[in-house]
Amino acid sequence: MARPSCSLWMFVARTDVSFMMHTIPHLVRMNHFPFEEKVLVIDTAPLTGDKVRRPGIGTMQELKECTQQLLKANIVDRIVDINYNPNYRRQVYGKHFGTSLRCTHNYKGYPILGSILKIEECKSDYMLHFDSDMLLHQQPDYDWITDGVELMQEYPEMMFIRPLTGPPTEDGTIYQSRVDEKESDKFYKSKFFGSRAYLVNCKHFDLLLPLPIVWRSYKREFMNQLSVPLKNVLNQITGKGKLDSWEIMVSKKLEETSYFRGTLMNPKAWTLHPIDRSPAFIKALPKIIEKIEAGDYPSQQAGYYDLISNLWF
């Protein structure tokens, strides 16, 4: 039986210029999988939400130069701009939400339309997504993607799967506010979906559609009393309103259905999410990546999803 095809898709934006030349090659190296293609998705839209205040924001020219360097070095195979054509937006929103909306990003400035585009435009059976700031360790003798595909085929209600969240602890503890359900000895089961790193069967994802639309609270209290369909129409007419995160909408649909997200328990692969963007962190990043690739991490970091900067430099 032929192995299902899989492609790697990664987001980049102007906010990523200071670190992406370290993290993108790192993610490609660590996944060491025969991807059908490796694709960079560029967000060309003006920055909004908290993205405007991120340190180290580059210019669009600098971002494009970085992506071209990665393409010329064969680290990625293709570069795609998020398609902001209104007709395309209406088409994919009609499929994914059951209606058209004018918002292309969530209230934080994260690209909802881009998240949908990756799944719609991926040519492979499976799509692996990583945000460009994520860090990954995987032992040379392990292949978490094949492991994940096999589990998704064994458990049809597993809609997504990802590696262990944070370096492993001796007793398997994961320090997070949500307690995931342990399923067999291979994975944790969760109704919460995280959009920073996940593997999905593109056609299987259609079974979740349409997704529920979730709006953030309005400043005027009476607006919060409006029904979701009315809020949708208001957005279509005036552009007013801010969407919650795509991962929140996906999570809500998981809660309403029998589908779930899996997290692998195998300690041979794990991720870290840096929240630090300081000049000191950027300077230390190459050494941090070197340690992570070698599987070396401070003992106090074990079990934590977010990278704790003061432990690393």
pLDDT per residue rounded down to tens, the chain (313 residues):
567 899 999 999 999 999 999 999 999 999 999 999 999 999 999 999 999 989 889 999 999 999 999 999 999 999 999 999 999 999 999 999 999 999 999 999 999 999 999 999 999 999 999 999 999 999 999 999 999 999 999 999 999 999 999 999 988 788 876 767 887 889 999 999 999 999 999 999 999 999 999 999 987 787 888 999 999 999 999 998 999 999 999 999 999 999 999 999 999 999 999 999 999 999 999 999 999 999 999 999 999 999 999 999 9
Cβ 132 vs Cβ 11: under 8 Å: yes
The answer to whether residues 241 and 105 touch, using CB atoms and an 8 Å cutoff, is no
Cα separation of 55 and 168, whole Å?
A: 30
Q: Does 227 reside within a domain?
A: yes
Residue 256, in any domain of the structure:
yes
Instruction: Give tens-digit pLDDT for 195-224.
Output: 999 999 999 999 999 999 999 998 778 788
Own/partner pairs for 104-107, CB < 8 Å, 24+ apart? 104/45, 105/45, 105/48, 105/49, 105/243, 106/49, 106/242, 106/243, 106/244, 106/245, 106/246, 107/49, 107/216, 107/242, 107/243, 107/244, 107/245
Containing structural domain, residue 55: 6-302
In the chain, how many domains are there? 1
The domain that holds 63 is classified in CATH as 3.90.550.10
56 occurs within a structural domain: yes
Residue 307 lies in a domain: no
Residue 195 lies in a domain: yes
CB 267 within 8 A of CB 164: yes
Going by C-alpha positions, the residue among 145, 139, 135, 210 that lies closest to residue 165 is 135
Q: What is the pTM of this model?
A: 0.95
Token pair, residue 283, equals 């300077």
Hey, which residues does 307 pair with through a beta bridge? Answer: 274
Residue 149: both structure tokens together: 């595909």
β-pair partners for 162: 263
